[in-house]
Structure 1
Amino acid sequence: MDFAALMSKEIAKAKGDTTNGKASPAAKTATGAPKPAPKYISKREAEEARRAAYLAEQKRLEEERAAKAAAKRKREEEAAEEAKAREERRQRLAEEMHRRQREKEAEEERARRRRLGLPEVPPAEGSEDGDAERRSRGATEESDGEVGDEDAAAAADIPEPELLAKLRALGEPAVLFGESHGARLRRYRRATSGATTNWGPIATSIAPVAEKDMKVPDTVPPASDKKARRYLFRQLASYFNMVLREWELALAREDNADTHAGQTARAAMVSSKETMRPLFRKFEKADLDESILEAIVEIVKAAQERRYVDANDGYLRLSIGKAAWPIGVTMVGIHERSAREKLHGGERGHIMGSETTRKYLQSIKRCLTFAQVRWPPEDIRQLMG
């Protein structure tokens, strides 16, 4: 045996068990060396490995989605419970405030009756609200000069179905938002009291005219003809009150009073009534500016003929004006620009300088917007944008 073979044998003995000079598989495992990955794998094995990895990833994503959905449901349930608790607290506080208000009103009513020497109001059996309402109704009637015995006040009450029918017959809204039976009854009594100051949504002392007589003339009567002027103001007041009344009825018929859109529409109608009161005061005093009166007559006449585009044009001429507005540089060097003298020709650019005037002109525009829905034109081209 040569030296090289002897050295190989000795090295193999030092490494472990040998088989013809080679280490056995057991010896390789005992050394702890990792089993090398196969250099080549079959297509089936690669597909199974890919499928197993895909299923594991999908399982992980599904678990994450389930955890997120559970957390979201928990947050929603907690938020719903908190909202319910807040609503219950709000209702309790509202009931407590109403109860205190009724007690305060009842105490004030008793003190007033003692001061006037009137008999005490007998409490209603099992109906605290009815008692407070009856006292409030009696106070309103007596403050208006209708002081009488309690039997007459009780007999003056009208059942709800009959009251609604009577209000509809008068052309009044049957039910207003947030209105109680007592407020409805007082509104009916005011409407049937015969006073000329409450014949429309805007209280005015001007006598109304029938709907068939509301059509305004083509031109404004001269200031010297006071009778014709008075009749023109009656026509204008009657027309605007009719539009506002129809607006109220349209809102009362809708069932979206609790929505944001319904509340916005209601607020616009109430704001229009409030801002048009100064215009009605001018109708009563017959001191409306001549240029404004002519423009309003033009607008109303076009609206009555359902020419809403023409009415809107009249509103724009009244609110914006037709005078030249200076835009940019009006003087360059020593030469004047062409038609510069028209910038100060005495024409008024707009009429929105007065806040009161601006508000009731905007309310007239809102009335036009409602009128084209309530009384649509035959020619669709006359619809405002």
Structure 2
Amino acid sequence: MDFASLMSAEISKSKSPPTQPKSTKKFLKKSELEAQRQEAYLKEQANLQRQREEKLAQKRKRDDEEALRNAERDEKRQRLAEESRIRREEEEAQAETHRRKRLGLPELPSQPQTDSSSPTSDHQQDIPPATLRLALRALSEPTHLFGETHAQRLKRYHALTTPVPNTPKKYPGPIATTLEPVPESSMKVPTTIPSDLAARTFLYRQLSSYFNLLFSAWSATLSARASSVSQTPEGQRASLTLTNCITSLQPLFKKFEQNTLEDSILRPLLQIVSAAQERRYVDANDGYLRLSIGKAAWPIGVTMVGIHERSAREKLHKGAEEGHILSDEVTRKFLQGIKRCLSFAQTRWPPEDGGQIMG
């Protein structure tokens, strides 16, 4: 190999490897700079988000481990406390036995084991602590109470799940009641109060079934609305009206169940419901007005013009002295609830006669 070839080989080795051609742009556009800045910002945010998720996962794992350790520690502390209590009671019993022997007193009679520490003292089946916690949580009850042992927790669970004897059955509905519902074909109420007790009880069943049917239809109508309507202030006000109406009529249902509704209220109530079932809503509204206002004097404006007593002046104060039906808050509320039921009924079941539509 000659000298020229050697020199050319060395020169080729000393040359740097080919690199990518650099940008020949001397200036960059503002949009390109903004794109580069945006890309760098997104990469930085992605890294931060990944770091936050990793920290959150680590924290969640530490919290779970800490909760598990605390649960095991609490269970161990309770078990040791229970064992210490049993040991202390045994020592106290032995000391009492020795004292009685020393003093020559008769021994204590052996009592059956009825201590609350025994889970099966009340012939109740024992449940493992983990299963018992899940069962209490399913009942929406606290899994632990302060200073509560496993036996006490088991007793509380059995008290919640054991049915109470002699409890009347409650039939489901918008207003749960002990009165058995009747079919819709038998809901037509009479206009007079029956004399015997069985017929009166059946009448209360008819009234409760009719109002529950009306509330169910009302609730279904509100549920069928679009979310754009139900979320408006007017839609929320309509739902609140239904809730208030159901709450107001609960005392009336209690009177139905206990057969304590006065005849002075039951008689016009039958006329109102009978007219509403026949879609005579104007007549039903007249019955409501007779029941709520009646013939009581309702003075409007100035009631005392001079110093002399006028004729029939005492009628203005007679109602206030004797007490009006609307002076009772509970009665006033369920009467207003009945009026709202009439307003919905004429919308849900409109009358055939246009003259029977309430204003």
TM-score, normalising length: structure 1: 0.49
Aligned to 1:378: 352
Matched to 2:220, the amino acid is L
Aligned to 1:324: 297
- Structure 1 residue 329 displacement after superposition: 4.1
Q: Does 1:363 align with 2:337?
A: yes
Q: 1:240 aligned to 196, 207, 211, which one?
A: 211
Query: Do the aligned partners of 2:297 and 2:319 also contact (CA within 8 Å) in 1?
Result: no
Identical aligned pairs, as a percentage? Answer: 50
- Structure 1 residue 140 displacement after superposition: 6.4
Summarize the alignment of residues 17-36 of structure 1 with structure 2, pairs less than 5 Å apart: none
Summarize the alignment of residues 148-167 of structure 1 with structure 2, pairs less than 5 Å apart: none
Aligned to 2:176: 203
CA distance in 2, matches of 1:334, 1:259: 56
CA distance in 2, matches of 1:252, 1:136: 32
CA distance in 1, matches of 2:327, 2:230: 35
Query: Do the aligned partners of 2:191 and 2:267 also contact (CA within 8 Å) in 1?
Result: no
CA distance in 2, matches of 1:268, 1:346: 30
Matched to 1:376, the amino acid is P
CA distance in 1, matches of 2:235, 2:184: 28
**What number of residue pairs does the alignment pair up?**
218
Query: Do the aligned partners of 1:216 and 1:300 also contact (CA within 8 Å) in 2?
Result: yes
Secondary structure of 2:340's counterpart equals helix
CA distance in 1, matches of 2:348, 2:137: 35
Q: 2:237 aligned to 264, 267, 287, which one?
A: 264
Identify if the C-alpha distance between structure 1 residues 305 and 146 changes in structure 2 by more than 3 Å, giving closer, same or farther.
same
CA distance in 2, matches of 1:138, 1:214: 39
Q: Does 1:306 align with 2:279?
A: yes
Identify if the C-alpha distance between structure 1 residues 117 and 136 changes in structure 2 by more than 3 Å, giving closer, same or farther.
closer
What is the CA RMSD across the aligned residues, in angstroms?
Answer: 3.8
CA distance in 2, matches of 1:341, 1:282: 34
- Structure 1 residue 145 displacement after superposition: 3.5
Summarize the alignment of residues 31-110 of structure 1 with structure 2, pairs less than 5 Å apart: none
Aligned to 1:286: 259
Secondary structure of 1:361's counterpart equals helix
Matched to 1:251, the amino acid is L
TM-score, normalising length: structure 2: 0.52
- Structure 1 residue 372 displacement after superposition: 0.7
Query: Do the aligned partners of 1:352 and 1:358 also contact (CA within 8 Å) in 2?
Result: yes
Give CA deviations for 1:247-284 in whole Å, capped at 9, x if unaligned.
11111111233222221111111111111111100000
Q: 1:295 aligned to 268, 272, 278, which one?
A: 268
- Structure 1 residue 370 displacement after superposition: 0.8
CA distance in 1, matches of 2:162, 2:310: 75
Secondary structure of 1:352's counterpart equals helix
Give CA deviations for 1:319-340 in whole Å, capped at 9, x if unaligned.
2221233454468566743x55
Query: Do the aligned partners of 1:321 and 1:351 also contact (CA within 8 Å) in 2?
Result: no
Secondary structure of 2:260's counterpart equals coil
Between 1 and 2, higher relative CO (CA 8 Å, sep ≥ 6) is seen in 2
Q: 1:228 aligned to 174, 193, 199, which one?
A: 199
Identify if the C-alpha distance between structure 1 residues 305 and 117 changes in structure 2 by more than 3 Å, giving closer, same or farther.
same
CA distance in 2, matches of 1:291, 1:369: 23
Query: Do the aligned partners of 1:318 and 1:350 also contact (CA within 8 Å) in 2?
Result: no
Matched to 2:284, the amino acid is A
Aligned to 2:326: 352
Structure 2 unaligned regions, length at least 5: 1-59, 76-118, 120-125, 142-156
Identify if the C-alpha distance between structure 1 residues 215 and 266 changes in structure 2 by more than 3 Å, giving closer, same or farther.
same
Structure 1 unaligned regions, length at least 5: 1-98, 122-133, 148-194
- Structure 1 residue 366 displacement after superposition: 1.0
Identify if the C-alpha distance between structure 1 residues 137 and 305 changes in structure 2 by more than 3 Å, giving closer, same or farther.
farther
